[in-house]
Amino acid sequence: MTTKFKTLEKILNSGDFTITAEISPPLSAGPTELEAKIDLLKGSVHAINITDNPGATAHISSLAGSVIVLNKGINPILQMTCRDRNRLAIQSELMGASALGIRNVLALSGDPIRVGNQPDAKAVFDINSKTLLSIIEDMNSKGQTMAGRELLTKAEFFPGAAAIVHDPEIDWDPKKLSNKAKAGAKFIQTQFCFDVELLTRYMDRIVASGLSEQLYFIVGIGPLRSEKSAKWMKDKLFGTVMPDNIVSRMAQAKDQVQEGIDICAELIDQFREIPGVHGVHLMAPRNLSAIARTVAKTGIKI
């Protein structure tokens, strides 16, 4: 399958500041609802992640959703968790994704089953996300399956992994990120970070370690919808960096949706100046329409 758009890999390689966004696929057995969500983002982002049964609840598959994104003329990023598949299913799905023209894959562990609405489901975790990355690398470089069987056509995946931005301790060694790079990861998408100073300290260490030359860092952020959502993210959403001043600013705003857009656009502008940051990953649950307005406010052209 040929594409008319520049691939995510080429965009990042070119040095352009990259905008990705995330869609949680709907509870639907048809494409219409997902297509409507994609339309809200088209022209405002370089690539769209389709989450893989987020919150350990069943949705349209990430593979099917990624194909729908591709058919809309946008780079899809296939999210693949180790929670729901054994190694056979993972390899089969990767081969299928490649055959369908999907190149970008984000390797994840997956939310724990207990947070979902079917706690009796059995988590698989036959392999971990680092092993998933190594499977992708072998399909790319060796043209082999995990068992060493030859693929008739090699894969050409552009694999990524996830990270959490944090305030690094003096002796912090980004070993986990280094291991992901060694396993084949080419880009990193992070959890939400709304703290410029903390992100600067984190990226200073990433740059000093040399990892910013091995991995493209795409920092998670998004237009907040309300003070309530900011507080929930700060208190309940694992890995989120949400300073008190952001929550206060949302609380004081007369139009909280617009304030969320303004905050996000301002932070993106500041993130662009931080060495080692190659882009942002926009997440806006139940506020997807605000993403286009946010990107427009930054002046970034897609």
Q: What b-and-e string marks burial along 32-41, b requiring 16 or more CB atoms within 10 Å of the CB?
A: eebeebbebb
- Do 124 and 86 touch, CB atoms closer than 8 A? yes
At residue 116, the pLDDT reads 85
At residue 248, the pLDDT reads 98
**288: how many CB neighbours lie within 10 A of its CB?**
21
pTM: 0.96
At residue 36, the pLDDT reads 97
Q: What b-and-e string marks burial along 274-287, b requiring 16 or more CB atoms within 10 Å of the CB?
A: bebbbbbbbbbeeb
Can you spell out the DSSP letters for 46-95? SEEEE-SSGGG---S-HHHHHHHHHHTTSEEEEEEESSS--HHHHHHHHH
Average pLDDT, consecutive stretches of 10 residues, N- to C-terminus, the chain (302 residues) = 78 97 95 97 98 92 98 97 97 98 97 89 95 98 97 98 97 96 98 98 98 98 98 96 98 98 98 98 95 98 92
Closest CA to 159 of 189, 187, 120: 187
